[in-house]
A and B are shown apart, each in its own frame.
Chain A
C-alpha cells in the first residue's frame, strides 16, 4: 500500500495506477454527471419556477409549487399507490427469487436451461411485456379470465388494479434478482454446508443459519435497488392502464403524475416538484436501510 513516509508522492507505480484507475472510471463518471447528476440539480432548480414553453420564459415563483403539492390530494393518493406497489413487489420478488436461486444452485440436470428461462423476462422490452400482460388481464377477452372462468376486472377495478401491476412487476424482475442471488450464493464456501450436514443440520436450518447471513450483503444490495426501482414504477402503469380507465386514480404512481404534468400538460415546474418529493422519500428510505445494514448485514 502507500508509502507512509511519503504519502503525497507514492511510488511511480502507484501514481501510474492512480492515473489508469481514473481513466477507466472516466466514461462512467461522465455518463453519471451528464445523465444523472446534472439533471438532478436542474430538476430541483426547475421546481421553483413556473416553466414556459420550450424552455423559455420561466417565471420564478419560489415555494408556490411546494405549497400546491402539499394540498394536492391526487399526489398523496399517487404516493399511497406507489407504496402499495413497492410493498407488494419488493418482498415477494426477493423471497421468490431467493428460493429459486437456492434451488437452481444445486447440481441438477438442465440447470442452465432453467436459469435462462427465468432470466428471459429481463431481456424482453418493458413495452412488449406491458402489452402482453394487458391482454392477459383483459376482463372481456383476456386469457386469465378465460382459464379461471371468472370475470374479474384485473386492471379496471380500482381496488385491485395496482396489485395486478405489481404481479407484472414481480414476474419481470424475478430473473434479475435470481441471477444476483446465484452469484452471491456461489461465493459461499461449500465447506460450511458440509460441516453443517455433518453436525446434523437439515436443509431449512442450513438455509436460515448459513445461506441467509452469508448472503446478506447481496440481499441488502438487491433490496435497496428494488425498493428504489419499485418506487419509480411508471412504464407498466402507463402502458397497461388506459386514460379512460376508472382505476387510474387509484393506480397512478408519482412518476406517472410527473410524466402527466411535465410532458402532457407542459407544466414542468410542478412535475419537477413531484419528483423532488419522490427523491426525498427514496433518500429517507435508503437511510433507514443503511441503518438496517449495520444491524443485520454480515460482511466477511
Chain B
C-alpha cells in the first residue's frame, strides 16, 4: 500500500521533470515484478522453487542496474571525472565561438609539437560557456585556459577566479606586451595585476548589397562618405511598398551599429569620470539621427526583432547593415552574400571628419585553481607571440591583438574588401565598460526598445537611460 502511494507521488513530481532522463519504464517494470512476486507468494506455499529464486534475483539485479543508471545519469551530466590532474596530463581549453575552432586547433597542435604538452579544445555557444565558467567558479571544475570578455572580466578578476599572470608576463622572453593596445591590457589588469593576455581585436564596418545599388543606379561607397550621404542613399534604397529597406538595426546592435554613430559624432556612452554619457549633446544628436533612420529607412521594430538584421540582409530585404569583423567567418559561407554583397568603411561625420569604430578584444586567461599553472601560461604565452598572432590572422580566425599582425586576415576572403576592417583600426574606441557593465547595459537596451516602437521619444529615452546608468554605476561595489 505504502509503495503505491509513494509511487503515485513520485510520478507526480518526476514525470514533469525527468521523463527523459529517468528510466521510468524499467522502474515500473520493477514495481510490477515485485507486485507479481508478492501475489505469487500468497498463492504458493513456501516459495522454495528455483523459478521463484530466479525471479527474485532478476528483480534485485534490475534494481541495482537502475540505481546505478540513475545515479550516473543524474550525477554525471555536466563536469566529468574530478580528481586532481598531474603534470603530463592534458590542458583543457574552452572557447565560445565555433567559427574559430579549427584555426585555434591548428595553433594548439603546433604548441603540442613544440612543447609536448597535450591540449584539448572545447567550443560551445555563448550562454553555455558562461554557465560552465560560473558553475566552475562556484566550486566545480574549471577549464585550465579560457577566454575572457570585457563584460565579465571584472567579476572574475575581483573574485580571484583567474590566475595571476603578472610575474609570468614580466619574466617571459617571448611576449612583447608593448605591441598590444593599451586599453586591451588595462581591461584585463586589476589592482596592478595582469590576469589575461590579449588575444584579438575586432572592428566594425558597413556591409552593402551591390545588386540593390546597381538597380538604383547608385555608385558603390568607397568609405569616404558621411552619415548624411549614407542617409540619402538609404532613403533612395527604401521602396514604398515595403519590399526593401535601406538600413536595419535593433536596440541590441550596440557595439556593432549605433554606438559607433555616437562616438563618430563626438558623443560618448561612458564619460571619463565614470558617469553616463547619454546627456552629452553630441550623444543626443547621434541618437536623434538614429531615430530619423528608424522612422524612415528601417523596417518596423517587430520585423527586425523577429528576424534579426543579418538574416534580413541575407534575404535581400535590407540594403545595408553594420557588422563586426567576428561575423566574417559566417558571412564567407553565405552564398547570397558572396554573390551580392561587399563591405566598406563606416561613414564619417561631416562636422568632426572622423569615422570611429568601436573595438573589443578578448583575452586568454587561466584558472586560479589549475593544477598546471606553468603549462597553462606557456599555452597563453604561445597564443600571444608574434608568429602565432600572425598565424591566427592567416587562418582567418580573427584580427590579431598584436599590432600589425592582422594584414593576413584581410586576404582571407577574396570576395570581400576586408581592408575596410583594417582601415577602421585607424580610429577606434574601446567598447564602453565600467566595473559592473551588465548592470546598466541590459536596462539601456531595454529602454531603447521604447523609441524603436514609437512609444517614447528618443530624447526622453536618453534622459531615462542617463538616470538608470548613473544609478547602477553608483551601486557598484568593486
Contacts and interface: CB of A to CB of B under 8 A. Distances in A.
B34 interface: yes
Nearest to B8: A221
Contacts of A156: 301-303, 305-306
A101 B144 CA distance: 54
Contacts of B452: 244, 246
B14 A53 contact: no
Given A246-B301, A265-B442, A225 B306 contact: no
Contacts of A24: 3, 30-31, 34, 63
A264 B446 CA distance: 13
Given A54-B137, A139-B303, A225-B15, A28 B10 contact: yes
Nearest to B127: A263
A31 B66 contact: no
Contacts of B13: 32, 36
A157 B302 contact: yes
B16 interface: yes
Interface residues of B, number: 55
A141 interface: yes
Interface residues of A, number: 42
Contacts, number: 108
Nearest to A34: B74
Interface in A98-138: 138
A13 B38 CA distance: 10
A8 interface: no
Contact of B134 (A23, A54, A243): A54
B117 interface: no
A90 to B, nearest CB: 14
Contacts of A138: 306-307
A24 B66 CA distance: 10
B437 to A, nearest CB: 12
B306 A245 contact: yes
Contacts of A266: 438
B16 A228 contact: yes
Nearest to B161: A54
Nearest to A157: B302
A215 B449 CA distance: 49
A20 B15 contact: no
A235 interface: no
B141 to A, nearest CB: 14
Best-buried of A26, A246, A248, A266 by chain B (most CB within 10 Å): A246
Contacts of B2: 21
B301 A225 contact: no
A55 interface: yes
A229 interface: yes
B251 interface: yes
A154 B63 CA distance: 49
Contact of A243 (B3, B445, B453): B445
Interface in A1-51: 13, 17, 20-21, 23-29, 31-32, 34-36
A25 B17 CA distance: 18
A189 B17 CA distance: 32
Contact of A55 (B27, B34, B63, B139): B139
A225 B16 contact: yes
A156 B453 CA distance: 11
B317 interface: yes
A28 B9 CA distance: 10
A21 B1 CA distance: 10
A265 B439 contact: yes
Contacts of B105: none
A62 to B, nearest CB: 19
A194 interface: no
Nearest to B24: A28
A242 interface: yes
B429 interface: no
B315 interface: yes
B70 A27 contact: yes
Contacts of A56: 159
A153 interface: yes
A23 B134 CA distance: 36
A21 B251 contact: no
Interface of B: 2-3, 6-7, 10, 12-18, 22, 27, 30-31, 34, 38, 41, 63, 66-67, 70-71, 74, 131, 134, 137-139, 155, 158-159, 161, 250-252, 301-308, 312, 315, 317, 438-439, 442, 445, 449, 452-453
21 contacts: A13-B41, A20-B34, A24-B63, A27-B66, A28-B6, A28-B14, A31-B14, A31-B18, A31-B22, A32-B13, A53-B158, A54-B134, A54-B138, A140-B303, A155-B306, A156-B302, A156-B306, A229-B16, A243-B252, A245-B302, A265-B439
Given A24-B30, A35-B17, A141-B315, 13 more contacts: A13-B41, A53-B159, A54-B137, A140-B303, A225-B12, A243-B252, A244-B252, A245-B306, A264-B438, A264-B442, A265-B438, A265-B439, A265-B442
